[in-house]
Amino acid sequence: MTAQEIRKAYIDFFVKQKHVPIPRAQLVPQDDPTTLFTGSGMQPLIPYLLGEEHPEGKRLVNSQTCLRAQDIEEVGDNSHTTFFEMLGNWSLGDYFKEEQIKWFFEFLTDEVGLDPNKLYVSCFIGSKEHGIPKDEETAKIWQDLFKSKGIETKIVDIGSQKDGDKKGMDGGRIFYYDDGENWWSRAGGLDTTPIGDPCGPDSEVFYDFGEDKHNESYGKPHPASDSGRFMEIGNQVFMQYLRTKDGFEPLKKKNVDFGGGLERIAAAAINSPDVFKISLLWPIIEKLEELSAKKYGQHTASMRVIADHLRGVVFLAVDGVAPSNKEQGYVARRLIRRAIRYAFELGIEQGICEQITPVIVGLYKKDFPEVAKVEKQVIETLVREERIFRQTLRSGLRQLNKTIDAFGSLTGKDIFRLYDTYGFPVELIKEEAYKRNIDISENADKEFEKLMKQQRERSQTATKGVFKGGLVDHSDETKKLHTATHLMYEALRQVLGDHVVQRGSNVSAQRTRFDFSHPEKVTRDKLDEVEKIVNEQIKKDLKVEWKEYPTKEAFKLGAKGAFGDKYGDKVKVYIMSAPSEKPFSIEICGGPHVEHTGVLAEGGKKFKIAKEEASSAGVRRIKAILK
């Protein structure tokens, strides 16, 4: 099966199991400035996994496009990509372990056609210290499923990944790992699970590409090894506990969160550990071979980088991200420039974006129509960036000449400045220095890597501890400030005008941070007026209610949505109003909020705007508190 066929088969399979397909969220979370990109399939669903009711019900399925900037430097091997798709299905307080495991096994073996003899699984080993039992239920379900295919299974206790590197497989097919491998919480292991959070064991599924793919430098083979023999293709998270101050308690409402890498499942389907040979990436590689007159086998890493990075920037451009020197735009710029740099190594000195973008659009336009709609604009955006970069290469050469003329040699700091500020490829800097017999300092590489590490840390995305809607947690104080944010949004529109549109928010128990479109600094007089309106609505003790509406009907009611966000057929609308009065605030939102605004004034507190400042061009930021 092709990757496109697998994606369709997955959605169709879970629709048969009464799941509702939901649209992909954009790569840039539109109402959450705490993270740069949507980095997992579950990220947009976190509020619902934490207890909010989803407008589409308890069974959901989709394929979510994701981008992880922290993997930029890893691209070039056979499995790392910055852009990827996660197949996901969720049970929100509905079915649990038995149905989920059975369905995924059935999908892999009967729908995709994977050989069950090549599948291996992991389960949670338990923790006596924390009172969490070994997940024998999951292991037994897997054992019975393998037996149904005529495969006898041995269950092996491993522990940590390092333990596995020493012990090996011992003839096992089902493996128990500790919380470093098979425990899910928003903050990692058992000890770091936040109080008040749902959490639980997970069960990963691995595909075996064969003993000849094992790299012995990693120790003995086992599924969670990094050796290359096994590839994780799916993970089932069973949220069945609640972390309290006293430990872990069973959840009354249990959830299932499944995430499976489309590219990885497609690689397993063709029995190749090289994900770049699947149908969503290989046509790009073939085009690169044509343009460069070079073969993938001899220029593997360069072609992988170009294929991955251009695929990522095409989808970023589709979702409205243009290359720039700030936040998401900075990452898009890095991706394009790295792709052009590697294209230069292949001898493709111009037109890489114009030639490759139509190939990428052709791979996705059927399943993601929004890609085809903006193809022309995307090409124009990327071509413009390519042209600018080639100009910066010339500027970089001039700066290189100036540096050499001034100092007669190059340090790691010089090389980094030429690379980071002027986009001048390191390989070209060194090549030019070699041609001119210019010395490069002995510690240049070490100094350069240190500066690059600092840069990577700046550009990485935060993918843990994030709530859609910008809420840090669901405490009472955070709910109060979330409610106050809705009141402030409407007050800003009344004071400043209808051009005010939400561009991001982040709410904690201490303060709310709200970004909105406005061309100039807001005067203190205007801010005082906003404060006054908000406090008047708090004093009125408005009732806060929510109701699900068809999306079109919600907008007809006057509901405000987050800038650029996408919605399904139904949305959750929060309305704040006083008896016999027109609603003060109507917003599409996942929640949560307080039930009436009067509680915001408990303890004599009032809403106050602590700070107003610029966020970006045409966008202002307000920080406000209840004090």
Q: Residue 98: which pLDDT band, with cuts at 50, 70 and 90?
A: very high
Residue 314 clears pLDDT 60, i.e. is over it: yes
Q: What is the pLDDT of residues 66-93, one digit of tens each?
A: 998 876 777 777 778 889 999 999 999 9
- Residue 627: how many CB atoms within 10 A of its CB? 11
Question: Residue 186 — very low, low, confident or very high, per pLDDT cuts 50/70/90?
Answer: confident
* CB-based contacts of 489, cutoff 8 Å, min separation 6: 500, 502, 514, 516, 560, 585, 587
Secondary structure (DSSP) of 141-174: HHHHHHHHTT----EEEEESHHHHHHH--TT-SE
**CB distance 607 to 484 below 8 Å:** yes
Q: Please report the pLDDT score of residue 559 as a whole number.
A: 87
Mean pLDDT of 11-26: 94
**pLDDT tens-digit profile of 568-617?**
678 889 999 998 889 999 998 877 899 999 999 999 999 999 999 887 65
Q: Are residues 202 and 184 in contact, defined by beta-carbon separation less than 8 angstroms?
A: yes
Global pTM? Answer: 0.71
**Residue 181 predicted with pLDDT over 80:** yes
The answer to whether residue 466 scores a pLDDT higher than 60 is no
Segment holding 1, helix H or strand E: none
Q: What is the mean pLDDT of residues 274-294?
A: 96
Among 185-194, 478-487, 510-519, 565-574, the minimum mean pLDDT is found in: 565-574
Full DSSP string of 416-455: HHHHHTT---HHHHHHHHHHTT-EE-TTHHHHHHHHHHHH
The predicted structure's pLDDT at residue 407: 82
Q: Using the predicted structure, report yes or no on whether residue 532 has a pLDDT greater than 80.
A: yes
| From 358-362, 383-387, 563-567, the region with the lowest mean pLDDT | 563-567
pLDDT score at 515: 86
Residue 469 has pLDDT above 60, yes or no: no
pLDDT band, very low/low/confident/very high, at 473 (cuts 50, 70, 90): low
Query: Is 90 within 8 Å of 258 (Cβ atoms)?
Result: yes
What mean pLDDT is predicted for residues 159-177?
94
Q: CA dihedral in degrees (241, 243, 247, 251; nearest 10)?
A: -30
Computed over every residue of the chain, the mean pLDDT equals: 88
Q: Which residues contact 340 (CB under 8 A, 6 or more apart)?
A: 352, 353, 386, 389, 390
494 vs 516: CA distance, rounded Å: 14
Query: 218-232, 299-313, 336-350, 351-365: lowest mean pLDDT where?
Result: 336-350
pLDDT at 399: 82
CA 493, 571, 41, 282 torsion-angle sign: negative
CA distance 316 to 494: 34
pLDDT at residue 517, rounded to an integer: 83
Lowest-confidence pick of 159-163, 200-204, 502-506, 512-516: 502-506
Q: Which long-range contacts (CB under 8 A, 24 or more apart) does 128-133 make?
A: 130/190, 130/247, 130/248, 131/247, 131/248, 132/190, 132/201, 132/241, 132/248
Chain-centroid distance of CA 347 in Å reads 33
Give the pLDDT score at 520: 87
Flag the least confident range among 316-325, 328-337, 449-458.
Answer: 449-458
pLDDT of residue 31: 57
SS3 call for 70: helix
464 — pLDDT class (breaks 50, 70, 90): very low
pLDDT in tens, 489-516: 999 999 998 888 887 788 888 999 998 8
Q: What is the pLDDT of residue 565?
A: 53
Letter for the amino acid at 237?
Answer: V
Range name among 38-52, 116-130, 199-213 with the lowest pLDDT average: 38-52
